[in-house]
Structure 1
Amino acid sequence: MTRLVRAELLKVFTTRMVWGMLALSLGFTAIGLVALSVLSGAQGVPAVTGPEGVRNLFSQAGTGLVFAFVIGTLLMTGEYRFQTITYTFLVTPRRERVVAAKLAACAVVGLLFGLAGIALAFAVAIPALLIRGASLSLIGGDVARVCAGVVGAMALYAILGLAVGSLLRNQVAAIVVGVGWVYVLESILVALLPSVGKWLPGGAAQAVYGVSSPFGSGYLPAWGGAALLVGYAAVFAAVASLTTIRRDIT
């Protein structure tokens, strides 16, 4: 099993796409961090000198969730696009082992994306706090929870990408669906129906981050968001497994 996971990780990290997605993810994170640092204390923006502002600042480490999704999508749809899925299953006839290895690889990629975002958040947040005259003691338990939430959410979205790729198989269609969901449909639901949006993956991630909702209806408590993320991950993993194991690949 370890060899299978290593093989899947090799597939990911020997392509330029993963580094491009990581760069884009960090770029979005940097934009969010700089914007919050500059607008700190402005109307409607919590100051970074307080606990809420610090949580919001570090939550920007998870801004690039969609790019973790794309990597998960590519890990599955790339097999169908380049017709390597047949050889993969010939080498490892037990398909469930292949799916499990891909899920593990997705979780690792999401973890690495999350850690990279967290490192960037610390690199920007510490100078921002010092410039604003805030105490570094604000970086404590709340920040640790936010960082854990970022890593978990990144892993979840990579697994979600794998599940969508397993369902659609077409690379372009899977990416369009994922980007449309994260940036369009989910954003609209959170804005117009916040009581519904808080139960979506994005709302669960925000709950784990501990940030406040700008739309009046609060997110779930942190433990509730974490439980919901785990539940989504389990469902997505089951979908990826069933659609890959039972369907004809020719």
Structure 2
Amino acid sequence: MIDADTLVAEVPGLMRYARTIVRDQALAEDLVQETLVRALERGHSFRGDSSLATWLHRILHNAAVDHSRRHREEPTEDVTTLVEERWRDERYSVDASVVTARAETVEALKDSLLRLPLIYRTALVLHDMEGLTMPQIARIQQVQLPAAKQRLRRGRMLLVTALASQWERRVAIAGVPLTCWDARSRVSDYLDDTLAARERHLVETHLADCPTCPPLFDALVQTRRCVGLLRDPDSTIPADLVKRIVEASRAS
């Protein structure tokens, strides 16, 4: 059996891992908490075939995968296929100095990591950050060793491409206030006119200068408008159907 005191020593490592594989601090804390709860519930099943840390990381990995599936993360194979096609092209390359500069910037590196599909992101973080062996990662991800090695290889390729693309994008938005995520996370409140004047100005300035956010904003505006139209029965329900329903209700 495993008691709560035994788990306390593993919390810092679990939190470090969780913060790297998910964007939201609150979600990272929730995943670690869920991991500890599951560990206490399943303590009888831990037989020491792997280290306690490996076992806990497997529980956390599964919790993160469950969350990813519920929230429909980007299609893994589509992203991977696109990047592998680039790497197979002998003409494809990146500026290594630029990629290195971005990788040495913590914010940029974390942002690029979070662009990777979860199974590749976790393999890379577990190996290159946490120092776990490939057999340990295979056990955590519950795959065969060759599959775990493939995930690490793909994760590294995806990360380099993400860092290279991020640099190109950073150049395009140099001087634009707010990061795209900061702006996009405020857009809903902006649409509802609940932002303070300063925040509203920052969002408007970002939308005026960013090359990628305006289409997303326009799509949100038009989608909201279309949802609003659903309130008008005549826009979606034929008039003769409305008449038949009314007549049927009167006859009953």
Which structure has more relative contact order (CA 8 Å, sep 6+)? It is 1
Scaled by the length of structure 1, the TM-score of the pair is 0.29
Scaled by the length of structure 2, the TM-score of the pair is 0.29
